[in-house]
Structure 1
Amino acid sequence: MKKRILIIEDEIKIARVLKLEIEYEGYEVLVEHDGREGLEVALNNNIDLVLLDVMLPGLSGLEVLRRIRKANSHLPIILLTARGSTFDKITGLDYGANDYITKPFEIEEVLARVRSSLRFSSLLQQSKQMDDFQLSIGDLVVNQETREVKREDIDITLTPKEFDLLVYLLKNQNKVVTREAIILTVWGYEYEGETNVVDVYIRHLRKKIEEGFETSIIQTVRGVGYTMRVK
């Protein structure tokens, strides 16, 4: 799927050249010449990067930048600034611009900055997705997507039920969870066995993730259940 780039530039000739060159590189390009209209497009469409002129009618580029950042902290934004406008560059970076290009510019520089910003944005998204899948406590790391479990970078093999139990404890780390709550979540409503199944699986889990390591992670709360915390 093509990356979609929004150009907000009031100088018609510059906007046209940018649009043609960027489209030639394989991107989809939208163009607006007014700050207020450009802001509306940026906020209400799936945009992958914004090329934003500082001097705009309707709403200044810096104000457009500020409002976009208030709604979206991750969208890459490259400012187009006039030569010598140090104030605009500094203010733009303070407002959250990812980069700036000084006019007049070479189109090769623009394309290079666009590629760089999109590449960095993609890496950030990948990192965020990894964080969403990953759970950890101390030196124990669990990837929910791949179902990998590591402690001190040592691979630990768990059964499906042991893994589900570990994930539940990790999601509730530093909280005390009862045996009943564990059974309800990990084994489900239809489970009709004994509640000591939890104790049995906790023992299995402790053997795999604690034996041979210096610190204990799973703590017993007498008369209540279990908690996961690093002492």
Structure 2
Amino acid sequence: MKILVIEDNESVSSMIELFFSKEGIEGEFVKDGREGYRRACDKRWDCLIIDWMLPGMDGVTICRKLRQARVDIPIIMLTAKDSESDQVLGLEMGADDYVTKPFSPLALMARIRAVTRRYAQPPSPPEEEGVLQTVHFKMNTNTREVLLDGRLIPNLTPKEFDLLHFFLQHPKQVFSREQLLDRVWGYDFYGDDRTVDVHIKRLRTKISTEERPFFHTVWGVGYRFDETSGDAT
């Protein structure tokens, strides 16, 4: 496994580097945000670990630019910011997960294994030739494009695409947050399940209307996706 770590705190980098050596992980460490962004683009990595606050270019900007450039590599954000709004911002920019400082190497390793396992799974869409057609949606898993009533949905993050794909494959079924973390993120529930809420909120903003809410909250259970008309709850 090859991992790029963009982190300017030497003590944090040293801790991660020591743990990587014990786990047999090949790590490369960069202190500057601009250099880190360049290195992230010019080599295939198994995972990127990006600190929020960096000289040259901050971690959120790096994440956003990588996703805009269609760099499809799992990204874990390291942040000392523990407010919900900050964590939501990182996820909205395309990060797959975040770890709040201070953290243990074991916790970081659990997140690394989780996101890399998800990305390593070969695509196995049940639809023919990677195209899934429903009442209102047409999804191409090869080009990762989604049409809603013939109109392209722009700016879907990789995880938003995966989450919508899962719901389109399982219409009208109710899933808990823990089930969605397991099935879409690829790991058993670990940490904060607000990640699911954030992504569904973002999808609602991008695809839902008052007449067609699509996503329904089942209180005390989780979420259900339904293309039939009805009031959002």
> Which letter maps to 1:127?
P
Quick one: which of 73, 91, 104 aligns to 1:75?
Answer: 73
1:86, distance to aligned residue in structure 2 (A): 2.9
Give the direction of change, closer, same or farther, for the CA distance of 1:135–1:101 in structure 2 (3 Å limit). Answer: closer
Q: Once superposed, which parts of structure 1, at least 4 consecutive aligned residues long, lie more than 6 Å away?
A: 130-133, 135-138
Give the distance between the partners of 2:126 and 2:25, measured in 1 at CA: 29
> Which letter maps to 1:55?
M
Matched, 1:127 2:127: no
**Aligned residues, how many?**
133
Give the distance between the partners of 1:135 and 1:7, measured in 2 at CA: 33
Give the direction of change, closer, same or farther, for the CA distance of 1:48–1:131 in structure 2 (3 Å limit). Answer: farther
Quick one: which of 90, 96, 118 aligns to 1:98?
Answer: 96
2:16 maps to what in 1?
18
Query: SS at the partner of 1:127?
Result: coil
Taking every aligned residue pair, what percent have the same amino acid on both sides?
A: 35
Give the distance between the partners of 1:83 and 1:137, measured in 2 at CA: 39
1:42 maps to what in 2?
40
User: 1:54, 1:88 within 8 Å by CA — same for their partners in 2?
Assistant: no
User: 1:10, 1:34 within 8 Å by CA — same for their partners in 2?
Assistant: yes
Give the distance between the partners of 1:73 and 1:13, measured in 2 at CA: 28
1:214 maps to what in 2?
none
Unaligned runs of 5+ in 2: 134-233
CA-atom RMSD, angstroms?
2.4
1:43, distance to aligned residue in structure 2 (A): 0.3
- Per the normalisation by structure 2, the TM-score is 0.53
Cα distance per residue 1:196-226 (max 9 Å; x no partner) = xxxxxxxxxxxxxxxxxxxxxxxxxxxxxxx
**Aligned pairs for 1:1-231 within 5 A:** 3-123=1-121, 126-127=122-123, 134=129
> Which letter maps to 2:73?
L
1:73, distance to aligned residue in structure 2 (A): 4.6
1:26, distance to aligned residue in structure 2 (A): 1.7
More helix by share: 1
Select the structure of larger CA radius of gyration.
1
1:95, distance to aligned residue in structure 2 (A): 0.7
> Which letter maps to 1:99?
D
Cα distance per residue 1:136-169 (max 9 Å; x no partner) = 899xxxxxxxxxxxxxxxxxxxxxxxxxxxxxxx
